[in-house]
């Protein structure tokens, strides 16, 4: 590295975001750019460790450790330190098709396994990644680069989320003719409708998909494979299929009162709000509006945070968030050692905004929902209780409701952000693909399903996961498709 002692000389300085009370007044991204000198110092903190763990991309204790797309982080950190930004962008794009996405929305498992983080603050990898990508676009270094020759093989990709886009991008680079089918009116899937604009501006998504179109990828929107286009037709018209439909079957909460008005799945809330923003307020489907309401978000993950931030921007009167798990510790627990993902207490952007407005983190931990209480067939409150966690006889954690802790909190809008159970079953059934015990598509190491020539990638295979894992899945599937079409040969790396 250019400065092997940089981690001793400089402290961590990640992207500062706009103050909470400033940013809640609009839907713009909140990340300003750091000065180049500061970024050089941050890159210098990459310590030239003997065995870097930041790009391992493996699962430890069920969570990501290191970068799932195997970004060679020390290499582009060194290039940034030396001011070679264009070379850093080239290096970054060799492993990551969409660094402008991951630089914004990835929780950075790379930083959780950074060697500097063993006894100090990790390198600001995510900040540097986003800056490399943004500079590449701003300086015109990312331009259409269609393949020099075409193979004549055709591939249909069903779904235009991160896995589908990554598969399409890779297969197009290999020279195949790729058509992406998306049932929504815009390309992007989860990136377009599932992630709020303040985390990922939709201009960023549209810019990348326009580039892909200029490179030869064909996008067909507003078409649902099955009802609008039979699976048999898709199989007849293409040499291979990639199913990248995501895990969109949301988990519900079947407790008494669930049928009351005002209780919605989180993605219905987030999708409707994004459509309203994109359509300039003229969306034919009226969005779910939190203005002036007591909002309760049930679920403590990223989707729950996005609901908190969106409800605040819509003008909610109050926002609470219920989490059944116990509050994480402030520092790593003894059973959560490096390089595992650190399961520690964090204040994400939505909770930070709620605290700025109302004085406290809106999350209530170790809390279960007993029933919804209605008034005039509409939700008016939630009966909740505290729980305690312990290990069952077979060693699994289980929650036990604590007697005497029942109480009722007001709620006239409830958003269920409880995660996703798997892919919607209609499409796998239409293609005759087998499912595994969890209801996901069964696929081999090359991501081919039980149907020859039909591959699958992303959350519909691995279950609900990160955008960066979806990109990795798309790349693996594309490599498998390329080998399938080219009789065992491939020009693609996974």
DSSP 14-42: -PPPPPHHHHTTS-S---PPPPHHHHHHH
Note the pLDDT of residue 394. Answer: 85
Q: Compute the distance between CA of residue 324 and CA of residue 400 in angstroms, rounded to an integer.
A: 11
The pLDDT tens digits of the residues spanning 326-369 come to 999 999 999 999 999 999 999 999 999 999 999 999 999 999 99
Instruction: Tell me the C-alpha distance between 95 and 110, whole Å.
Output: 14
As annotated, the residues of the chain forming the CATH 1.10.1060.10 domain(s) are 6-138
Condensed to tens digits (0 to 9), the pLDDT of residues 180-215 reads 999 999 999 999 999 999 999 999 999 999 999 999
**Can you give the pLDDT at residue 287?**
86
How far apart are the C-alpha atoms of 252 and 192, rounded to whole Å?
23
CATH number of 154-248+421-485: 3.50.50.60
- pLDDT, average across residues 437-461: 97
Burial 301-332 (b: 16+ CB within 10 A, else e): ebbbbbbbbbbbbbebebbbbbbbeeebeeeb
Residue ranges, comma separated, of all CATH 3.50.50.60 domains in the chain are: 154-248+421-485, 252-418
Predicted confidence at residue 28, as pLDDT, reads 95
CATH class of the domain defined by 252-418: alpha beta
Q: Return the pLDDT at 251.
A: 96
Mean pLDDT of the chain: 95
Closest CA to 17 of 143, 154, 199: 199
- Residue 14 confidence class, pLDDT cut points 50, 70, 90: confident
Task: Of 263, 275, 464, 236, give the one whose Cα is nearest residue 371.
Answer: 263
How confident is the model over 212-267, as pLDDT tens digits? 999 999 999 999 999 999 999 999 999 999 999 999 999 999 999 999 999 999 99
For domain 6-138, say whether CATH 2.60.120.650 is its number.
Answer: no
Q: Kindly provide the b/e burial profile for residues 375-387, where b requires at least 16 CB atoms within 10 angstroms of the residue's own CB.
A: eeeebbbbbbbbb
- Comparing C-alpha atoms, which of 239, 98, 228 is closest to residue 179? 239
Q: Report the interhelical angle of 85-93 vs 73-81 (nearest 10°).
A: 170
- 91-104 confidence digits (pLDDT tens): 999 999 999 999 99
The pLDDT tens digits of the residues spanning 119-131 come to 999 999 999 999 9
Would the pTM of this model clear 0.85, i.e. be above it? yes
Report the C-alpha gap between 383 and 447 in whole angstroms.
Answer: 44
Q: Using pLDDT thresholds of 50, 70 and 90, give the confidence band for residue 170.
A: very high
What's residue 286's pLDDT?
Answer: 75
Q: How far apart are CA 81 and CA 76, in angstroms?
A: 8
- CA distances for 155 relative to 146, 177, 211, 212, angstroms: 16, 6, 19, 15
Give the residue-averaged pLDDT of 423-431.
95
**CB-based contact 489:483 (threshold 8 Å):** yes
- At 373, the pLDDT band (50, 70, 90 cuts) reads very high
Task: Name the least confident of 39-53, 301-315, 367-381, 441-455.
Answer: 39-53
What is residue 473's predicted lDDT score, i.e. its pLDDT? 98
pLDDT over 70 (residue 440): yes
């Amino acid at each position: 590295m250019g400065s092997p002692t940089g981690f001793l000389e400089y402290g961590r300085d990640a992207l500062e975001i706009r103050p909470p009370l400033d940013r809640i007044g609009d839907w713009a991204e909140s990340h300003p750019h750091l000065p180049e000198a500061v970024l050089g110092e941050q890159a210098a903190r990459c310590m030239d460790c003997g065995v870097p763990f930041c790009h391992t991309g493996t699962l430890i204790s069920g969570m990501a450790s290191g970068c799932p797309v195997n970004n060679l982080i020390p290499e582009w950190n060194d290039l940034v330190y030396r001011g070679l930004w264009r070379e850093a962008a080239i290096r970054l794009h060799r492993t990551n098709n969409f660094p402008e996405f991951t630089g914004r929305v990835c929780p950075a498992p790379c930083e959780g396994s950074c060697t500097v983080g063993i006894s100090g603050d990790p390198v600001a990898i995510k900040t540097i990644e986003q800056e490399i990508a943004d500079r590449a676009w701003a300086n015109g270094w990312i331009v259409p680069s269609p393949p020099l020759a075409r193979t004549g093989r055709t591939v249909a990709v069903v779904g235009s989320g991160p896995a589908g886009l990554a598969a399409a991008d890779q297969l197009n680079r290999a020279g195949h003719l790729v058509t992406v089918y998306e049932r929504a009116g815009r390309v992007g899937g989860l990136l377009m409708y599932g992630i709020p604009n303040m985390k990922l501006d939709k201009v960023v998504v549209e810019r990348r998909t326009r580039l892909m179109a200029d490179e030869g990828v064909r996008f067909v929107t507003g078409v649902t494979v099955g009802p609008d286009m039979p699976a048999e037709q898709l199989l007849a018209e293409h040499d291979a299929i990639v199913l990248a439909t995501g895990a969109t079957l949301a988990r519900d909460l079947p407790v008494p009162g669930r049928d009351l008005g005002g209780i919605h799945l989180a993605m219905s809330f987030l999708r409707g709000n994004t459509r309203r923003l994109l359509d300039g307020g003229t969306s034919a489907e009226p969005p779910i509006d939190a203005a002036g309401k007591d909002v309760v978000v049930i679920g403590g993950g990223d989707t729950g945070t996005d609901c908190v931030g969106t409800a605040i921007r819509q003008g909610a009167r109050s926002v609470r968030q219920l989490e059944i798990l116990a509050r994480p510790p402030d520092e790593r627990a003894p059973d959560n050692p490096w390089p595992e993902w650190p399961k520690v207490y964090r204040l994400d952007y939505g909770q930070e905004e709620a605290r700025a407005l109302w004085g406290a983190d809106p999350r209530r931990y170790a809390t279960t929902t007993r029933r919804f209480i209605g008034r005039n067939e509409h939700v008016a409150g939630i009966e909740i209780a505290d729980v305690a966690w312990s290990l069952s006889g077979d060693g699994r954690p289980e929650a036990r409701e604590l007697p005497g802790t029942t109480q009722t909190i007001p709620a006239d809008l409830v958003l269920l952000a409880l995660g996703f159970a798997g892919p919607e079953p209609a499409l796998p059934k239409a293609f005759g693909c087998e499912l595994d015990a969890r209801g996901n598509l069964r696929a081999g190491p090359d991501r081919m399903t039980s149907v020859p020539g039909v591959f699958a990638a992303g959350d519909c295979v691995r279950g609900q996961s990160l955008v960066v894992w979806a990109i990795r899945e798309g790349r693996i599937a594309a490599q498998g498709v390329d080998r399938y079409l080219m009789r065992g040969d491939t020009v693609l790396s996974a």
